[in-house]
Structure 1
Amino acid sequence: MATPDDGVYMMVRLVILAELVAIAAAFAMPESLQGWVLISLALATAALILAIFLSPSSLGLAKLIRPGLVVVLAAPALWMALQSVPMPISKLGNPIWVTASATLNERLADRITVDTMATMFSLVQYCAVLAAALITAVVALDRYRAAQLLHILLSTATIVTAMWFGREITGVAGPDGSTVAVLGVLLSCATAIRAVDQLLRRSRPGAIALAPLPALSAAIIAMIVCMAALLIRANSTAVVAVLLGSEILLSVFAVRRWFPGLWGRAGVLATATIVFIATATVLPFRTNTDLTIVLSTSSQAATERVLQDVAPAGSGAGASTLLLPIYQDAGAGDSPERPTAAATIAIDMGWAFLCALAIAALLCASFLVRRALSRAYDYVFPALGAGALIAATILAFSDHGVLSLGASLLLAALLGLAFGQSLSGAGRDAVSSEPKASSDQTADQTPAPRRTLTSASVAIWPRVSLMVLGIVLIVQAAWMALPERYFGARSSLPSVLSTAAVWPDATSKPVSLAAAREDLWIRGASKFTRDSALAANEQRTAPPMSSDEFARALRSSPLRGDIWLLLAATSKHSSPQSSTAAMLRMSYYTAPNDLDLLPLRVSIALAADATVREPDLRELIKRDVNLVVRHRPALKPALVTAYRSASADGKVYFEGLLSELDPTFLDQVYARSSGRRSR
């Protein structure tokens, strides 16, 4: 006969499964819109299950999710939302909106962000990360569940690191795997310490009946895999981050096992501080550079230029991906620059937000260390959270991996585990169906007296918070999924490209937008490259997109140089030449170094006499032609095509440019053009 405890047991297992599915989807489909939808739905299911079926009278839950904590956690989401809403004062917004308004000849609301859809997708990711942390914290209130979560997270990190290591050997791995490897080492270290502690306590009554030897063996194997991946990649910053994070775990272990007194604790902490400082000096600091990229080993020239121009309020969450190509040198598109996580946060959210986040990370690490030192047995979990925070903070100034979807969800789950087990008596107060040998009064240093909640509002607050978060995740999933289901057929650009121009390499420019959701898939997974045959097929089956639909996308993302160019191409026959020139100018300013845009851009620029006569556009055309001649000779046939369709003034100006840059190629242009006319 089923008991209420069996129902709770099944619900908790379903919650853990939903969170595991979300983390797995984040690593398996990081650039897929379907993956984002699956992650939101899985986490929403877990949050709603906890909100509905978990007892609201749980003292541990009410102690964990306090109103003040909820306000602090909601602050980044509120700031992202504020960046996306129209500003009451025009000077508070980014100047790009004023320029776009003048070009489109319509009033656009001034906003802090330069791309509302990018900011909204960043908000989606933050809500998913927040949900993963809170769900894990609630489940980890029970000590037995916390141990299960520790093993699940360790297995996940090890598998992901092994896969990343395999791709690294073949040369196709990205830089984000080092963050997961660091977390894997810390998780294995915590698992090993917990297993050793169990072996030392086996003779004591009241210990949890878990087999320590298999856990210790698995931890050693996982540590070997993760450390091998870090050492072979020769990422010195990640190795130092691992050492510093592991030092916190080992220091807490030494204090709890051998130096429990005040003087012993002071001695261990003093020694750990000295070792910590000595290890930190090994970090490869860069000199004469911005603080946010001080530990980066890759080129960050464009990032430094963006940081010099960043506004105090930031440029909008997710905006760095659009700003960096503008500041990159010509021809850098084949190896795009990846800013560090700290630089990305400073660009997107502002310097004040970055400083507040760094201070909050250090304060949370101090809190977790203090809580670990006050526990007698479950000190491993808060110590693990403190070590992970220190390591993640160091990695944030080294690479971008901390902000990747999979790594951020894994880190959030780890921190939720740490904070869930940082409360004394959490396991006793949480709802669980697992057998316990004893209460936390035998495990914690100081027995926690039983207390009852005196306020119904305090008891209901965690339930309401989880339910609101679950509803928000469902709304986000619907926002991402519905346009693809009902309006996805309208997001086809090859038909427009086939009527505007043909790219010289017989492929269409990888551009994407959804007219029904104003450039929804620009940040999603609908980026594609189609050949000319597929473009012709889509031209017969999909209606061409109008200039109004391109303009709609630009109302949310005015920094899209490719869309400005397509708008100029579709409107050059229906709009005044001055309007086409303004759109073309915006394409030059927002995508100056995108070499894939050069063929169509030069063709449009040379086709109108009014465009060629403007001095600033003449210089921009000269720059594009120079880039093709000197950096992309494979695009020279596109210049021949542009010359054939050029106006009279355009041909004269183009001939003058080639006679200065490459007279030999000018003779080839004459020969190919005359040969085509003779045929």
Structure 2
Amino acid sequence: MMVRLVILAELVAIAAAFAMPESLQGWVLMSLVLATAALMVAIFLPPSSLGLARLLRPSLVAVLAAPALWMALQAVPMPIGKLGNPIWATASATLNEPLAEKITVDTTATMFSLVQYCAVLAAALIAAAIALDRYRAAQLLHILLSIATIVTAMWFGREIAGVAGPDGSPIAVLGVLLSCATAIRAVDQVLRRSRPRTIALSPLPALSAAIIAMIICMAALLIRANSTAVVAALLGSEILLSVFAVRRWFPGLWGTAGVLATATIIFIATATVIPFRTNTDLTIVLSTSSQAATERMLQDVAPVGSGAGASTVLLPIFQDAGVGDSPERPTAAATIVIDMGWAFLCALVVAALLCASILIRRALSRTYDYVFPALGAGALIAVTILAFSDHGILGLGASLLIAALFGLAFGQSLSGAERDAISSETKATSDQIANQAPAPRRRLTSASVTIWPRVSLMVLGIVLIVQAAWMALPDRYFGARSSLPSVLSTAAAGPNAMSKTVSLAAAREDLWIRGGPSFTRDSALAADEQRTAPPMTSDEFARALRSSPLRGDIWLLLAATSKHSSPQPSTAAMLRMSYYTAPNDLDLLPLRVSVALAADAMVRDTDLRELIKRDVSLVVRHRPALKPALVTAYRSASADGKIYLEGLISELDPAFLDQVHARSSRMGSR
């Protein structure tokens, strides 16, 4: 019964990640469900279960905990100032208060990345615990195949209908591998059914389902015309088929060597079909989309990275103006380098290749159930290729599905592991078909055997609960997140009208920034909360910047709210930070121009004059739809501001200057 609940929890967590990837409720539900499952496995793990202890050794626990510790280290103050990112010193000088320097440029973004990694780790360990039983492993394989097929079919439908959405290529690739593994397992059962004393259900339904899933996933990849994803799926499937051929028809050293040599030749030949980009960074060499901003970020990245989740925060600074409708997506490899550093990516690639070789070796040493470790090896190769072509494998749903697949592969990678965690209702049957493995030379006591798995899973479950509370409590106290672009547009209509809506939106942005998911709730509820919420002050905007100093929108709102209460040099410094941290965000342009032209002191600032000129030129020449914002800014501008704006417009578009005067006169007469 406990195992069924754990399997259900794994299914609910993955489904929630796919169904609500940008919902706060989805993240909280996922964390709580995985935490409950981890604690259940830790508490109710049978003392006689040696399989998980064989897999989860102290050395492996340290390796798995290393990325989480590195993310946590990025978010804590550095004892030596030079180790931190320079943005903290700049923000400290602008806010005129001491700020501790950190490696990450955005603490909240790093914390969200830590939440996702802990969830992925929990999903993998729970799947490994489930997969110790061969029958539970088969059930988990079918569940993962169903999820991948359904998600791929939905993505396929959106592609046909022309509806924008996240790229489902990684899920389709996993669907191909899962269907191939299911089909091989079914064929292997058919070939073994004639043997006496073998008890197995009819494999034909599983084989039929695998064929249907294979057709759906391959059709989605081919119609999408993603050649890299197709090659990744073929190479991963090749590993599965090679292991199957060795186990069924070419046993022995020479047969294995022949099959592996043939597979290597086919592997290299297939890899040459992948379209490689030339004269570009290695991390984006397989990407088919524009990566101009990513290349600029990679040139500026520090050896220790900019903090987990920082790539999403840094992208608006490096991307070109006016690309908000189709933002650039760095590849997963480029994202890892920007966030964690080059050394971290190299370690991941080496670890992936080592794990793939270990799984292949274990698959070749198995008599039965070799499909599971072979599936893990194929998925490792496919995922590594996909990491250099797109961003999809880092998505919440995709990462959980990949983690469950790897947990399944490693859970069934050791010969005889399933007999150590056999369930009571299947013990009699399993004893008849389990692999014959020699007993270990030395028996460990149950306490020493299960101490590391129990402690690791219990700590992970507690961490997930704490993280869920961290995400849920701000939602309760601050209410809904307003759409900041619409708030800024409203604020630009009158620079002096910094309403409750603006204050609430900025406070909400402090908690759920671009580095994390974009959380939304019912608009009616949001409006009601905005009417009842108390107005917030510039101190609360400053509090947001203490964790996210690259927030150009918050710098702008702080400058707008503090220009009457703070000295003009302080307001100019805040406005300058808004320009530097969000130079190409067109949503900020209306309010930013209004604030910049509202005071003579800011208009006389040499640096600000050049920045204002850039914004005005961008509007007049490339974004005529934003011209009404210049009219509004002209009406509220100071005397010097009006003169400077008139001079800029007369140089760029003299005819528009007459319209500015006419519209301003009509609006003033009302």
**Please, what TM-score do these two structures have when normalized by structure 2?**
0.95
The reply to whether residue 519 of structure 1 matches residue 511 of structure 2 is yes
- Name the stretch that deviates more: 373-382 or 321-330: 321-330
Structure 2 partner of 1:202: 193
Structure 2 partner of 1:53: 44
Letter of the structure 1 residue corresponding to residue 234 of structure 2? L
Distance 1:172 1:111 in 2: 40
Structure 2 partner of 1:21: 12
Letter of the structure 1 residue corresponding to residue 31 of structure 2? S
The reply to whether residue 288 of structure 1 matches residue 282 of structure 2 is no
**Partner-residue secondary structure (3-state), 1:61:** helix
Q: Deviations over 1:295-344 (max 9, x none)?
A: 00000000000000000000000010011111111112221100000000
Distance 1:530 1:433 in 2: 48
Structure 1 partner of 2:620: 629
CA positional deviation for 1:434: 3.4
1:30–1:530 Cα change, 3 Å: closer
The reply to whether residue 432 of structure 1 matches residue 426 of structure 2 is no
User: Quick one: which of 602, 605, 610 aligns to 2:593?
Assistant: 602
Distance 1:503 1:340 in 2: 41
Distance 1:463 1:417 in 2: 19
Letter of the structure 2 residue corresponding to residue 593 of structure 1? N
Map 1:210-289 → 2, pairs under 5 A: 210-289=201-280
1:351–1:166 Cα change, 3 Å: same
The reply to whether residue 301 of structure 1 matches residue 292 of structure 2 is yes
**Partner-residue secondary structure (3-state), 1:334:** coil
Distance 1:223 1:490 in 2: 41
CA positional deviation for 1:83: 0.3
User: Quick one: which of 537, 548, 552 aligns to 1:546?
Assistant: 537
Contact 1:372 1:379 in 2 (8 A): yes
Letter of the structure 2 residue corresponding to residue 564 of structure 1? W
CA positional deviation for 1:523: 4.7
Structure 1 partner of 2:105: 114
1:142–1:511 Cα change, 3 Å: farther
Structure 2 partner of 1:153: 144
The reply to whether residue 136 of structure 1 matches residue 163 of structure 2 is no
1:537–1:152 Cα change, 3 Å: closer
User: Quick one: which of 544, 547, 552 aligns to 1:556?
Assistant: 547
User: Quick one: which of 290, 300, 303 aligns to 1:312?
Assistant: 303
**Partner-residue secondary structure (3-state), 2:283:** helix
Distance 2:61 2:595 in 1: 53
Structure 1 partner of 2:639: 648
Indicate the RMSD between aligned Cα atoms, in angstroms: 2.6
User: Quick one: which of 153, 158, 164 aligns to 2:155?
Assistant: 164
Letter of the structure 1 residue corresponding to residue 567 of structure 2? P
Structure 2 partner of 1:375: 366
CA positional deviation for 1:568: 0.4
**Partner-residue secondary structure (3-state), 2:286:** coil
1:166–1:579 Cα change, 3 Å: same
Distance 1:662 1:534 in 2: 44
The reply to whether residue 66 of structure 1 matches residue 52 of structure 2 is no
Distance 1:186 1:511 in 2: 49
Letter of the structure 1 residue corresponding to residue 382 of structure 2? A
Report the number of matched residues. 668
Letter of the structure 2 residue corresponding to residue 55 of structure 1? P
Letter of the structure 2 residue corresponding to residue 119 of structure 1? T
Distance 1:256 1:242 in 2: 22
1:596–1:467 Cα change, 3 Å: same
Contact 2:297 2:318 in 1 (8 A): yes
Distance 1:251 1:655 in 2: 73
CA positional deviation for 1:527: 5.0
CA positional deviation for 1:469: 0.8
Distance 2:485 2:396 in 1: 30
Q: Deviations over 1:199-242 (max 9, x none)?
A: 00001134341221000000000000000000000000000001
User: Quick one: which of 74, 80, 97 aligns to 1:89?
Assistant: 80
CA positional deviation for 1:143: 0.5
1:164–1:279 Cα change, 3 Å: same
CA positional deviation for 1:444: 3.5
1:540–1:42 Cα change, 3 Å: closer
Distance 1:285 1:119 in 2: 31
Contact 1:510 1:529 in 2 (8 A): no
Q: Deviations over 1:40-89 (max 9, x none)?
A: 01101111111111113311121121111110000000000000000011
Letter of the structure 1 residue corresponding to residue 12 of structure 2? V
Question: Which consecutive residues of structure 2, in runs of 5 or more, have no partner in the other structure?
Answer: none
Percentage identity across aligned positions? 86
Contact 1:628 1:635 in 2 (8 A): yes
**Partner-residue secondary structure (3-state), 2:79:** coil
Structure 2 partner of 1:5: none
Structure 2 partner of 1:191: 182
1:513–1:114 Cα change, 3 Å: farther
Q: Deviations over 1:273-292 (max 9, x none)?
A: 00000001110000000000
Distance 1:656 1:529 in 2: 45
1:140–1:557 Cα change, 3 Å: same
Structure 2 partner of 1:462: 453
Letter of the structure 2 residue corresponding to residue 384 of structure 1? L
User: Quick one: which of 657, 660, 663 aligns to 2:648?
Assistant: 657
Structure 2 partner of 1:412: 403
Map 1:441-456 → 2, pairs under 5 A: 443-444=434-435, 446-449=437-440, 452-454=443-445, 456=447
Structure 2 partner of 1:582: 573
CA positional deviation for 1:437: 5.7
Distance 1:503 1:420 in 2: 62
Contact 1:513 1:522 in 2 (8 A): no
Structure 2 partner of 1:330: 321
Letter of the structure 2 residue corresponding to residue 415 of structure 1? F
Contact 1:425 1:441 in 2 (8 A): no
Distance 2:169 2:381 in 1: 15
Structure 2 partner of 1:670: 661
1:558–1:489 Cα change, 3 Å: same
1:572–1:526 Cα change, 3 Å: same
Distance 1:270 1:497 in 2: 62
**Partner-residue secondary structure (3-state), 1:240:** helix
CA positional deviation for 1:667: 0.7
Structure 1 partner of 2:413: 422
Distance 1:628 1:572 in 2: 24
Distance 2:603 2:316 in 1: 26
1:472–1:330 Cα change, 3 Å: same
CA positional deviation for 1:497: 5.6
1:66–1:603 Cα change, 3 Å: same
Question: Which consecutive residues of structure 1, in runs of 5 or more, have no partner in the other structure?
Answer: 1-9
Distance 1:516 1:31 in 2: 15
1:259–1:640 Cα change, 3 Å: same
Distance 2:598 2:353 in 1: 59
Distance 2:477 2:322 in 1: 38
Distance 1:393 1:440 in 2: 37
Letter of the structure 1 residue corresponding to residue 341 of structure 2? G
CA positional deviation for 1:269: 0.5
Letter of the structure 1 residue corresponding to residue 587 of structure 2? D
Distance 1:171 1:410 in 2: 25
Distance 1:199 1:281 in 2: 36
**Partner-residue secondary structure (3-state), 1:221:** helix
Letter of the structure 2 residue corresponding to residue 300 of structure 1? Q
Distance 2:321 2:204 in 1: 57
1:21–1:109 Cα change, 3 Å: same
- Name the stretch that deviates more: 626-635 or 648-657: 626-635
Letter of the structure 1 residue corresponding to residue 301 of structure 2? V
Distance 1:490 1:362 in 2: 43
Contact 2:506 2:554 in 1 (8 A): no
**Partner-residue secondary structure (3-state), 1:150:** helix
Distance 1:490 1:291 in 2: 38
Contact 1:374 1:445 in 2 (8 A): no
Letter of the structure 1 residue corresponding to residue 511 of structure 2? D
